[in-house]
Structure 1
């Protein structure tokens, strides 16, 4: 019996120590390394900013729109994806294949024309578990002059189910 109690205690302690801190960013956290020291010149907007889920069948859907725009010049996107915020820092969730940019945002050959907005209207997070969290969508591109620029925006996904 003593052996089982020790095993149970070890498992409970390990479980408590292994849990992630999913609290949101406070605003003073450093950007992910790939965005540091890169000029922010691509506008990125996630709508809605606070994203509530709906339930369809046995899954939850956080549906939103992500738009990008470069006002100052044409730009070729060379990297894009999303980070999740947990344990007090931004952690890479996924870098998307560049060929998906054209399909999801409607660009051609990863080129953004100056002053032209591009939107992914069917962007959504899907999951079997209802949990909230923070994401940061990022885009890195190269201008015609060869300068590397970036853009990013956060989105807060909630647990406030819209269709109870």
Structure 2
């Protein structure tokens, strides 16, 4: 019985994986959730095209993410990451707001006007070598109560530097 269950699990996993298609997202293809808000937060990932480096048995896609609001202070209400596959952005993870203080050094979820915030070691780590597109997103509220957003993409490749 265990053998049958294991084989079914492997077959289902292969089927699901093979049905995923990994394309390059178009500029106007953004998650529906973000389309409803005005962009007021700049999000930049560096480097934009991110090649992995292998250390022991792990691959590291080393990059950083910077966010900035120039027109007013913004209180972040949600942030996280999407992955692009099957011709759409799929939510990978929404992060707890308490993590803003340790990752981006944003105190009390409030971005100050003109102050850049950087998550220096925002790295993807894994044992498997595969590329794909990710998008970091941020949703927040201005001082006058308007809900705004920001997002930035990053291309993680399957071409190791070493």
Relative to the length of structure 2, the TM-score reads: 0.88
Q: Does the residue aligned with 1:160 lie in a helix, a strand or coil?
A: coil
1:86 corresponds in structure 2 to 85
> CA 1:146 to 1:18, structure 2 compared with 1: closer, same or farther past 3 Å?
same
- Does the alignment pair 1:156 with 2:144? no
| Deviation by residue 1:98-117 (Cα, 9 ceiling, x = unmatched) | 00011100110111000000
Give the corresponding residue for 1:110. Answer: 109
Alpha-carbon distance in 1 for matches of 2:38, 2:16: 40
Residues 149 and 127 of structure 1: is their aligned pair in 2 closer, same or farther, counting only changes over 3 Å?
Answer: same
Structure 1 segments (4+ residues) deviating >2 Å: 14-19, 26-29
Would you say 1:126 and 2:125 are equivalent positions?
Answer: yes
2:26 — aligned with what? 26
CA distance, structure 2, for counterparts of residue 16 and residue 127 of structure 1: 20
2: distance between equivalents of 1:136 and 1:61?
Answer: 17
Query: How far is the alpha carbon of 1:160 from its aligned partner?
Result: 1.1
Partner of 1:56: 55
**Which runs of 5 or more residues in structure 2 are unaligned?**
1-10
How many pairs align? 152
Report the Cα offset of residue 34 of structure 1. 1.5
Structure 2 distance, partners of 1:123, 1:23, is: 23
Q: Where does structure 1 lack aligned partners over 5 or more consecutive residues?
A: 1-10
Matching of residue 41 in structure 1 with residue 11 in structure 2: no
Distance 1:27 1:113 in 2: 28
Alpha-carbon distance, 1:16 to partner? 8.2
Partner of 1:4 in structure 2? none
Q: How many Å separate the matches in 1 of 2:70 and 2:123?
A: 26
Equivalent in the alignment of 2:71: 72
SS in 2 for 1:122: coil
TM-score (norm 1): 0.87
1:7 alignment counterpart: none
Q: Which residue in the other structure is 1:6 paired with? A: none
**In 2 relative to 1, CA 16–32 (structure 1 residues): closer, same or farther, beyond 3 Å?**
closer
Computing the radius of gyration from Cα coordinates, the structure with the larger value is 1
